[in-house]
Structure 1
Amino acid sequence: MSKKKKQDRPAPETLQLPCVGVESHAHLDFKPLAEDLPAVLARARAAGVDRLLQIFLGPEAYRNGVALFEAHRNVDFAIGVHPNSAEQCTDAAVAEMEAICREDARTAGRMKAIGEIGLDYYWDRVDPAVQRAAFAAQLELARGLALPVVIHSREAHADAVAMLKDLGFAHRPVLWHCFGGDLDQAREIVAAGWHVSIPGPVTYAKNTALREAVAAIPLQRLMLETDCPYLTPEPWRGTTNEPALMAFTAVEVARCKAMDPAALWAATGETARAFFGLPAC
């Protein structure tokens, strides 16, 4: 969090959420979070975050970053080649990710998902055909490893849904990361048996369609995330995001669902634990 605190920016621990929350999507190996990781994780625990899922964007990111988390056993992992780097999803990269996952399964047991993977038509950085090939290859990797999938879909909803269904992933463990869609998209995701993770922008004033969707998503399909260091929720928008600030997202999601924030926090944490196979508190 920014050192330049303002009087109207309460600390997340003042929300007094119980320490049962699960941060389902963080990039803790990115700057500046990696440079201050013990303090970042301490602030997360003070705010009620019990466990976190660290997303490694490919095998090189895993090799370079996994040692950061050796002493932080409440951080588990996912690995996948992002669609904006889909040209890096070679056969060799997929084979290396498989080897990483299988070795982890024999030893640490911290690799919980394949992701974030999917399609991104917003940035137009990689040919859509290349993205689709990388997506399909990594879905097959997840199937072979019997791991859940974390989906990145930006301005590619219809194609992402179609590919998942065509490849047999309806009613399999699929999490729609950083959901920013509308009610119809949320209903389509839920009908396919998938889960939805809600990020900080649900707190932004203009995101009425997202709040309408959140209100309609069944509680047992909901998780929370930061996607830190990006997408900081209000009232800390404009600063570096970090897991502690997920508490403010929880309060807004609870408001959308007419729930007590502590109950929402606990329920989304339990959903994440069941989905990723995380230990109980």
Structure 2
Amino acid sequence: MSKKKAERPEPASLGLPRVGVESHAHLDGEGFSPEEIPAVLERAAGAGIAQVGNVYLGPAAYAAGRGLFAGHPEVFGILGQHPCDAATAVPGDVAAMEAAFRADGNLKAVGEIGLDYYWDATTAEVQKRLFRDQLALARELALPAVIHSRDAAADTLAILDDLGFAGRPLVWHCFGGDAALAREIARRGFYFSIPGPVTYRKNTALAEAVAGLDPTRLLLETDAPYLTPEPWRGKRNEPALLVFTAARVAALLGLETAALWRQTGDNARAFFGL
């Protein structure tokens, strides 16, 4: 006799108020068709999400994708070149991004930028140069920075320290580290963005780290279409599923889910200037 599949609760079933913020999604990428965007955003609103941050991976992606969100003022933009794309970056890209930021007030942060030593996409030195250039752009434009760091925490923190970013508006996107790394990030005054893997049973080190964080420095993200939280793991991720990450983070912090939802939403609105 086959085992019956467990029921997956709908995001709206958590009954959260529409005050949450999805701080990091890739809705303009290959994971979503343009025709799906209105329905995806409608489900997000029904789950309690007031604003959605869409991350454009470079100036070409921004030019191609910004029109997807016409008529959707709840979507704000984040623009930056991912470290895995450093090898294909050209000298004019940072200038093109600067022009986009100066022309479009709906672009709220430079990101996701940083270092990635997990994927063998390009050399560390090429990544570091691009990272520094984009941090300089964030500083020049007085914008927050959204950091991607995978298997590269020491070098990422060293560059941020060298450029004097402690205390500046910066969020560690998709935080997946342990308590020791969390302490290093927190003592510099940075924010943490918590993704779906915090809901995975075997992620004990991440759970312990999140349990010790200051709720006033937390954002929530899906990184959709990736990193789907339980109980929807195995399916494509989307902003509406953020509520399940919120429930897990709230439990780890000993808070009611609705209180954590409102706090992280307020944190994101302050961080991005929404």
TM-score by length of 2: 0.97
CA distance in 1, matches of 2:149, 2:6: 36
Does structure 1 retain, via aligned residues, the 8 Å contact 2:87–2:121? no
Query: What is the DSSP-based 3-state SS (H/G/I as helix, E as strand, rest coil) of the residue aligned with 1:96?
Result: helix
For residue 14 of structure 2, what is the amino acid of its counterpart?
L
Post-superposition shift, 1:7? 4.8
The reply to whether residue 14 of structure 1 matches residue 13 of structure 2 is: yes
CA distance in 2, matches of 1:170, 1:86: 24
Q: Which residue of 2 aligns with 1:3?
A: none
Q: Which runs of 5+ in 2 are unaligned?
A: none
The reply to whether residue 140 of structure 1 matches residue 140 of structure 2 is: no
Cα deviation code 1:225-274 (max 9, x no counterpart): 00000000000000000000000000000000010000000000000000
Partner residue of 1:231 out of 207, 227, 233: 227
Post-superposition shift, 1:90? 2.8
Q: Which residue of 2 aligns with 1:55?
A: 55
Query: What is the DSSP-based 3-state SS (H/G/I as helix, E as strand, rest coil) of the residue aligned with 1:91?
Result: coil
Partner residue of 1:129 out of 121, 125, 132: 125
Post-superposition shift, 1:113? 0.2
Partner residue of 1:213 out of 185, 191, 209: 209
CA distance in 1, matches of 2:89, 2:220: 28
Identity of aligned residues (%): 58
CA distance in 2, matches of 1:28, 1:193: 29
Q: Which residue of 2 aligns with 1:177?
A: 173
Post-superposition shift, 1:34? 3.5
Does structure 1 retain, via aligned residues, the 8 Å contact 2:17–2:48? yes
CA distance in 2, matches of 1:117, 1:34: 25
What stretches of structure 1 move > 4 A for 4+ residues in a row?
none
Q: Which residue of 2 aligns with 1:268?
A: 264
Q: How does 1:159-198 map to 2 (within 5 A)?
A: 159-198=155-194
Cα deviation code 1:197-238 (max 9, x no counterpart): 000000001101101111111011001000000000000000
Count of residue correspondences = 269
For residue 132 of structure 1, what is the amino acid of its counterpart?
K
Does structure 1 retain, via aligned residues, the 8 Å contact 2:78–2:111? yes
Q: Which residue of 1 aligns with 2:96?
A: 96
CA distance in 1, matches of 2:30, 2:234: 16
Post-superposition shift, 1:125? 1.1
Does structure 2 retain, via aligned residues, the 8 Å contact 1:33–1:242? no
Post-superposition shift, 1:33? 2.3
CA distance in 1, matches of 2:239, 2:32: 10
TM-score by length of 1: 0.94
Query: What is the DSSP-based 3-state SS (H/G/I as helix, E as strand, rest coil) of the residue aligned with 1:230?
Result: coil
